[in-house]
Structure 1
Amino acid sequence: MNTQWKKTFALIFSGQIFSILTSFMVQFSIIWHLTKTTESASVLMIAGLAGFLPQALLGPFIGVWLDRWDRKVTMMVADSAIALSSLILGAYFLWGESNVWVVYLILLIRSAASSFHAPAFQAAIPLIAPQDQLTRVAGWHQLVFSSSSVLGPALGIAVYSATSLGTVLLLDVVGALIANLMLLLIKINQPKPENSQAPSFRKEFILGWITFLSVKSVVTITVAMAVFSVVFMPLAMLFPLMTLSHFGRGGYSASLIEAVFGIGMILGGAILSAIASKWKDSTYMSLSLVLIGFTCVLSGVIGSNAFIAFIILSFCMGAAAPLFNGPYMAIIQKSYEPEKLGRVLSFVTSIGLLSSPIGLALAGPIVDRFGVQVWFFWSGIVVILIGALIFFMVSRKEDICGRQESNKQ
């Protein structure tokens, strides 16, 4: 019984790595296609908005349904919807060059389906793994995610260059089918809803919001995360533009940057899995943000002939990322009851995603006028300040509370 949960995760992750891998291939290929054909930061920001807005707007309401529905079935249906959107867009590109507005529409559909899949997956994890292993499982998830982020852009640009964007999109359908097959082989026990809970959407929604607000440290970190999303999320869309406009390099160089970022994430996920219990979760998060901030600042000042330096900085930025993402999700999973976790996760996800469009809307005009490095530099300054804020408001407060508890005993 002690090892059964590990076998379950082995099946889940073996399927998810195919789905995540092909999603990375699609994501990078679409971004590079738009970058190459338009060379416009505004077009990239609109694509980013199309990818974020549905998740942000639907998220707060989806949590109620997630806590009612079977989480495994929800993941499978969402993955199938994403695959269907890839199939439709792939057919468009195979038949001929698609209009950019068709791309935006498909990104909207994929985002809406992802708004169900991601929180359903995260809400299912505490139903399988012991609570004291949640941070370690978060590290495993970061490893799967990071490995896909290394191979995805490289494979995506290779298939895109050799064939077309349509072929890349069709491969995403195969990835979703494999992920669903693996999910069919496992069992996830759905938590029972509260006996006192009335079958009212409004009451369940309010209860979820009250539950989220009940843990002050999570609220503080989530607000900080929202500010982080405003300044950092646009960078995901700007890396290819940085490679093309600042360094004057092509698609393979852009995929190399994505690959080294992913290799860094693999290292960061491995480190998190190995030392998960050494420090508090909030300490890892503070360290992560400070490191990410410094790499962004340095990226914002390097010259156009310093592409090697940008590769190293991208690697370090990637290595720091899991030290924020993994512990943040583990804190949430440890702080709330499983039967309410779907609603909390959807609130948290939506807060971050609602912040992202603000950054995307600001980044497009600013980058088009002042250059991509300006956004890298000032986003780094803000991220460093957020890391310091989490350390002084959460980490040190936890230390003080811990010492007070020890003195009482």
Structure 2
Amino acid sequence: MQHQWKKAFAIIFSGQIFSILTTSMVQFSIIWHLTETTGSASVLMIAGLAGFLPQAILGPFIGVWLDRWNRKKTMIIADSAIAFFSLVLGLYFFFGEPSLAFVYLILMIRSIASAFHAPAFQAAIPLLAPEEQLTRVAGWQQMVFSFSNVIGPALGIAVYSATSLGTVLFLDVAGALIANIMLLFVSIHQPKTETLQTPSFLNEFKLGWDAFIKVKPIVLITMATAVFGIVFMPLATLFPFMTLSYFGRGGYSASIVEAVFGIGMIIGGVMLSVLASKWKDITYMSLSLALIGLTCVVSGLLSKEAFVLFVILSFFMGSAAPFFNGPYMAMIQRAFEPAMLGRVISLVTSVMLLSSPIGLLLAGPIVNRYGVQVWFFWSGVVIILTGIFIFFRFKRMRVEL
């Protein structure tokens, strides 16, 4: 049994490396293309909204279908849809320059498909791994994600510079195909759903909502995560803008920052998988927020000649990230029955994603008026305060999650 679940994850993650790698290449290349061709933070914010908002709005409702459908088939179909629209956009770039409106539209459609894929994958994990290993698996998942994001920006900018954005998008199609083929070799047993006299979308949605609000610690940490998302998620879009507009560097420097951040995430993921049972999950999460916040504050105070120090801070910021993301998802996976996880994970994912557009809407005008470094500084202050809040709040509640 021990060997079987590890073998299953080895197969799944080996395929996901290619899919996440090519997705990382596409995301970075699109952001850099928009940065290079428009030089507008507002355009970047709109692109971010197009990528986040559909997933955030649809997420809570999609969870009902996720708990009804076969999770492996859902992942395959969703990933195939993402790949198809990468192909469409790639063909458009291959034959000419699409309008910004068309790029936004494709990003929105990809976001809808992602709303099915990501929660289906997270909800499938407890069906494969023992409960006591969920935090360790989260560490593995962070390593796979981080490894792909180390190579992705560098490869993305290299392929983009040597050929075109269309070529990068074509590679995304190949990555999804490999991930789907590997999934075919894994058996994921569908959990038994609750029995209802009359199947009803609204009743099933209400069951998921009721299950979520009953676990008060998860509600609290989700609210804190939303605050974190508002101030931190815009930074994912603003990193290249910081490199270009503040430090005056080019695309390769921007890819170095992304790569160093990813290397930090790999090391953080390794550490999390090794130290998974040493401390409580909430301790890891609080320390993670404290370190991320501190690096953001210092980044906002750097001079324009301190690009090397910014790269170093990006490493520590990346190394802290898995200690928040991994334990948080493991807490959720342990707290709810597998038959309910699709709805709960979709709901909390939507809360986090919905906080991102709010942050993007705030960040665009502020960055355009006061500079990108101002957003780095004040986001760091808020993140540190959030980490302090959840640590002492959970200590007072004395919960075991």
Instruction: Indicate the TM-score class for this superposition, using the shorter chain for normalisation.
Output: over 0.9
**Partner of 2:122 in structure 1?**
122
Determine the structure 2 residue equivalent to 1:389. 389
In the alignment, the residues of structure 1 paired with residue 282 and residue 198 of structure 2 have an alpha-carbon distance, to the nearest angstrom, of 35
Q: CA deviation at 1:397?
A: 2.9
Taking the aligned partners of 1:332 and 1:154, their CA distance within structure 2 comes to 34
| Cα distance in 2 for residues equivalent to 1:378 and 1:386 | 12
Following TM superposition, by how much is the alpha carbon of 1:396 offset from its aligned partner in structure 2, in angstroms?
4.7
- Return the alpha-carbon distance in structure 2 between the equivalents of residues 34 and 371 of structure 1: 18
For the residue of structure 2 that corresponds to 1:300, the secondary structure is helix
Structure 2: stretches of 5+ with no match in the other structure: none
Do the aligned residues in 2 keep the contact of 1:149 with 1:259 (CA within 8 Å)? Answer: yes
SS of alignment partner, residue 189 of structure 1:
coil
Letter in structure 1 aligned against 2:288: S
CA distance in 1, matches of 2:308, 2:185: 45
Alignment of 1:29-68 (within 5 A): 29-68=29-68
Contact kept? 1:197, 1:204, Cα under 8 Å: no
2:239 alignment counterpart: 239
- The AA in structure 1 aligned to 2:169 is L
Which residue number corresponds to residue 191 of structure 2? 191
1:25–1:168 CA contact under 8 A, matched in 2: yes
Q: Which residue of 1 aligns with 2:108?
A: 108
1:10-409 counterparts in 2 under 5 A?
10-196=10-196, 198-398=198-398
Q: Report how far residue 290 of structure 1 moved.
A: 0.5
Change (3 A) 1:197 1:116: farther
User: In 1, distance between residues paired with 2:136 and 2:396?
Assistant: 23
Q: How far is the alpha carbon of 1:355 from its aligned partner?
A: 1.1
Distance 2:197 2:32 in 1: 48
For 2:163 and 2:102, locate their aligned partners in 1 and report how far apart those are by CA, in whole Å. Answer: 20
Aligned partners of 2:282 and 2:119: how far apart in 1? 21
**Displacement of 1:197 after TM fit?**
6.2
Over aligned residue pairs, what C-alpha RMSD do you find? 0.8
Residues of 2 paired with 1:361 and 1:2: CA distance? 47
> Which digits, 9 at most, give the CA deviation of each residue in 1:228-256, with x for residues without a partner?
11111100000000000111000000000
Deviations 1:120-176 (A, max 9, x none): 000000000000000000000000000001000000000000000000000000000
CA contact (8 A) 1:283 1:395 kept: no
**AA of the residue aligned to 2:74:** T
- Give CA deviations for 1:262-318 in whole Å, capped at 9, x if unaligned: 000000000000000000001100000000000000000000000000000000000
Q: Say which SS state the counterpart of residue 301 (structure 2) adopts.
A: coil
Q: Give the corresponding residue for 1:405.
A: none
Aligned residues: 400
Listed one character per residue, the Cα deviations across residues 200-227 of structure 1 (whole Å, up to 9, x for unaligned) are 0000001100000111100000000001
Q: State the SS of the aligned residue for 2:66.
A: helix
Q: Give the secondary-structure state (helix, strand or coil) at the position aligned to 1:94.
A: helix
Cα gap change, 1:340 to 1:197, in 2 (>3 Å): farther
Per the alignment, do residues 250 and 197 of structure 1 end up closer, same or farther by CA in structure 2, a change over 3 Å counting?
Answer: farther
Gaps of 5+ in 1: 403-409
Q: Tell me the CA shift for residue 100 of structure 1.
A: 1.3
How far apart are residue 198 of structure 1 and its match?
3.8
Give the CA deviation at 1:101. Answer: 1.3
Q: Provide the C-alpha distance between the structure 2 equivalents of 1:206 and 1:2, rounded to a whole number of angstroms.
A: 36
Instruction: Provide the rounded CA distance (Å) in 1 between the counterparts of 2:122 and 2:293.
Output: 27
C-alpha distance in structure 1 between counterparts of 2:117 and 2:363, whole Å: 28
Alpha-carbon distance in 1 for matches of 2:388, 2:71: 36
Q: Indicate if the aligned counterparts of 1:52 and 1:356 stay in contact, CA closer than 8 A.
A: yes
Percent identical: 73
* 1:395 CA drift (Å): 3.9
Question: Are residues 351 and 197 of structure 1, via their aligned partners in 2, closer, same or farther at CA, if it must alter by over 3 Å?
Answer: farther
- 1:280 touches 1:395 (CA, 8 Å); kept in 2? no
- Greater mean alpha carbon deviation, residues 93-102 or residues 27-36: 93-102
TM-score by length of 1: 0.97
Q: TM-score, normalised by structure 2?
A: 0.99
Alpha-carbon distance in structure 1 between the residues aligned to 2:89 and 2:182? 25
CA contact (8 A) 1:265 1:319 kept: yes
Point out 4+ residue stretches in structure 1 off by more than 6 angstroms.
none
Distance 1:164 1:65 in 2: 38
Query: Whole-Å Cα distance in 2 between the matches of residues 199 and 219 of structure 1?
Result: 27
Alpha-carbon offset, residue 23 of structure 1 = 0.1
CA separation in 2, counterparts of 1:23 and 1:196?
Answer: 39
Distance 1:49 1:112 in 2: 12
8 Å Cα contact 1:58-1:115 kept in structure 2: yes
